[in-house]
Structure 1
Amino acid sequence: MALPKYKMSRANTRTRRSTWKAKAAQTITCPNCGAPTLAHVACPSCGSYRGRVYREAIRSAHTK
């Protein structure tokens, strides 16, 4: 297994790690009910995906 030959400075370590960032999940508005949903996932409010209802809603539209 490879090991570092020299100590890496804090600046170089932090510069290298600065590119590893978590991105926020992309949300879209549901065309059926208008609630924000994840892309390519059935809507949690109304249960529809691409114009078809696949399941019952997990939570009702009136709960927060």
Structure 2
Amino acid sequence: MAVPKRRLSRSNTRKRRSQWKGRAPAIQACPCPRKEAVRPHHVCTHCGLYKGRQVLEGD
């Protein structure tokens, strides 16, 4: 099995690892009347809904 002769620098390692994270996170509309933008699998900060259930106190 091939083994690298020298250790890669931290900057080169981080440059390589950052390449696959090229797209922005997905955003969905919350079912509340204001249609706030919410990331998937997160609670709406305005109304407190998650998967159609009230989990936090909203406005």
TM-score of the alignment, normalized to the shorter chain, above 0.5:
yes
Aligned-partner Cα distance in 1 for 2:3–2:57: 52
TM-score (norm 1): 0.54
Q: How many residues align?
A: 46
Q: Which runs of 5+ in 1 are unaligned?
A: 5-16
| 2:41 counterpart residue number | 40
How large is the Cα RMSD of the aligned pairs? 2.5
Please identify the structure whose Cα radius of gyration is greater: 1
| 1:7 counterpart residue number | none
Counting aligned pairs with the same residue, the percent is: 27
Superposed structure 1 runs of 4+ greater than 6 Å apart: none
Task: Tell me the alpha carbon deviations over residues 12-62 of structure 1, each in whole angstroms, 9 at most, x when there is no partner.
Answer: xxxxx5xx24220100000114000001111111110122110124xx6xx
Whether 1:27 and 2:33 are equivalent positions in the alignment is: no
